[in-house]
Amino acid sequence: AQSVAQPEDQVNVAEGNPLTVKCTYSVSGNPYLFWYVQYPNRGLQFLLKYITGDNLVKGSYGFEAEFNKSQTSFHLKKPSALVSDSALYFCAVRDGDSNYQLIWGAGTKLIIKP
Amino acid sequence: SQTIHQWPATLVQPVGSPLSLECTVEGTSNPNLYWYRQAAGRGLQLLFYSVGIGQISSEVPQNLSASRPQDRQFILSSKKLLLSDSGFYLCASRTNTEAFFGQGTRLTVV
């Protein structure tokens, strides 16, 4: 069965420091992996995705994520956090070998303190 | 890319009143469409999805229903709202490699 885990409900980071939001997944086939960001009372916005190719994926707003097949992880990272990065972040996975639904993580609240 | 139009942005309805939330999609044809509910600003709960006109799959039994009268229109309805129906509702469309979301509707049942 497909599943996604975001083990941290909340991550606190000081502005200017690097940030990591963790995501691990489980699929039976090739994983399609996604990160989305949600600002208060708004829809989700696409940040980046991994389908195939380079394990390090670069996305919007300076974010990147590294696909690690052996650890079944797809952690979201940014070298230097901004206060405006504070938001809710969702990881999602789909089995690329089928047309199964996107499975969403529970979300991680990222708080960047000035 | 696709654009999802969802309205209204906010809605306050009394218990027992009907509900109709509308979602339309631009920039694609024959999309897979989804209704999600998000409680307390956290995880997404898939309510309904549709792979075509008149085709609705329900993920969670509840007081809500969905309809797809046209290829790019997806409607979330209720005959009688409950207090527990309050939440943030999101419409989404999906391709093989990306999902697109509307701006959401904040529903408060009073």
Nearest C-alpha of chain A: how many angstroms from B107? 11
For residue A67, the model assigns a pLDDT of: 97
Q: Give me the mean pLDDT over the A89-110 stretch.
A: 86
What gap in Å lies between CA B31 and CA B42, rounded to an integer? Answer: 26
CB A25, CB A5: distance < 8 Å: yes
Q: Give me the mean pLDDT over the B91-105 stretch.
A: 89
Please give the mean pLDDT across all residues of chain B: 91
Closest residue in A to B48 (Cα–Cα): A101
Give the residue numbers in A contacting B (CB under 8 Å), as ranges.
32, 34, 36, 40-46, 49, 51, 88, 90, 92, 99, 101-102, 104-107, 109
- The bridge status of strand A10-14 relative to strand A108-113 is parallel
From the CB of residue B16, how many other CB atoms can be counted at a distance below 10 Å? 11
Question: Is the pLDDT reported for residue B76 higher than 90?
Answer: yes
* A105: chain B residues, CB-CB within 8 Å: 43
Q: Which two tokens stand for residue B28?
A: 């694609």
Q: Which of A23, A36, A42 to mutate to test the interface with B (most CBs of B within 10 A)?
A: A42
**DSSP code of residue B53:** T
Nearest C-alpha of chain A: how many angstroms from B97? 7
Nearest C-alpha of chain A: how many angstroms from B105? 8
Question: Is the pLDDT reported for residue A37 higher than 90?
Answer: yes
Please give the share of chain A, as a percent, with pLDDT higher than 90.
Answer: 79
What gap in Å lies between CA A36 and CA A112, rounded to an integer? Answer: 17
For residue A100, the model assigns a pLDDT of: 67
Closest residue in B to A6 (Cα–Cα): B43
Non-local CB neighbours of B10 within 8 Å, separated by 6+ positions? B105, B106, B107, B108
Question: Is the pLDDT reported for residue A35 higher than 70?
Answer: yes
CB A66, CB A78: distance < 8 Å: no
Tell me the pLDDT band of A99, cut-offs 50, 70 and 90.
low
Give a three-class secondary structure readout of A59-95. CHHHCEEEEECCCCEEEEEECCCCHHHCEEEEEEEEE
Q: Which of A44, A46, A91, A100 to mutate to test the interface with B (most CBs of B within 10 A)?
A: A44
What gap in Å lies between CA A66 and CA A86, rounded to an integer? Answer: 21
End-to-end CA distance of chain B: 37
What gap in Å lies between CA A43 and CA B23, rounded to an integer? Answer: 13
Question: Is the pLDDT reported for residue A36 higher than 90?
Answer: yes
Pairwise CB contact (< 8 Å): B99 & A40: no
What gap in Å lies between CA B49 and CA B33, rounded to an integer? Answer: 5
Nearest alpha carbon to residue B94 among A3, A92, A114, A83: A92
What is the enclosing helix (H) or strand (E) of B16?
A: none
For residue A91, the model assigns a pLDDT of: 96
* B94: chain A residues, CB-CB within 8 Å: 102
Tell me the pLDDT band of A25, cut-offs 50, 70 and 90.
very high
Tell me the pLDDT band of B94, cut-offs 50, 70 and 90.
confident
Q: What is the pLDDT of residues B20-71, one digit of tens each?
A: 999 999 998 889 999 999 877 678 899 999 999 999 998 877 889 999 999 9
Q: Which of A36, A50, A102 to mutate to test the interface with B (most CBs of B within 10 A)?
A: A102
Closest in A40, A101, A106 to B43, CB measured: A106
Q: Give me the mean pLDDT over the B8-30 stretch.
A: 94
Q: What is the pLDDT of residues A41-80, one digit of tens each?
A: 888 999 999 998 899 999 999 999 999 999 999 999 999 9
What is the enclosing helix (H) or strand (E) of B80?
A: none
Non-local CB neighbours of A70 within 8 Å, separated by 6+ positions? none
What gap in Å lies between CA B48 and CA B40, rounded to an integer? Answer: 20
For residue B17, the model assigns a pLDDT of: 97
What gap in Å lies between CA A104 and CA A61, rounded to an integer? Answer: 21
For residue B95, the model assigns a pLDDT of: 81
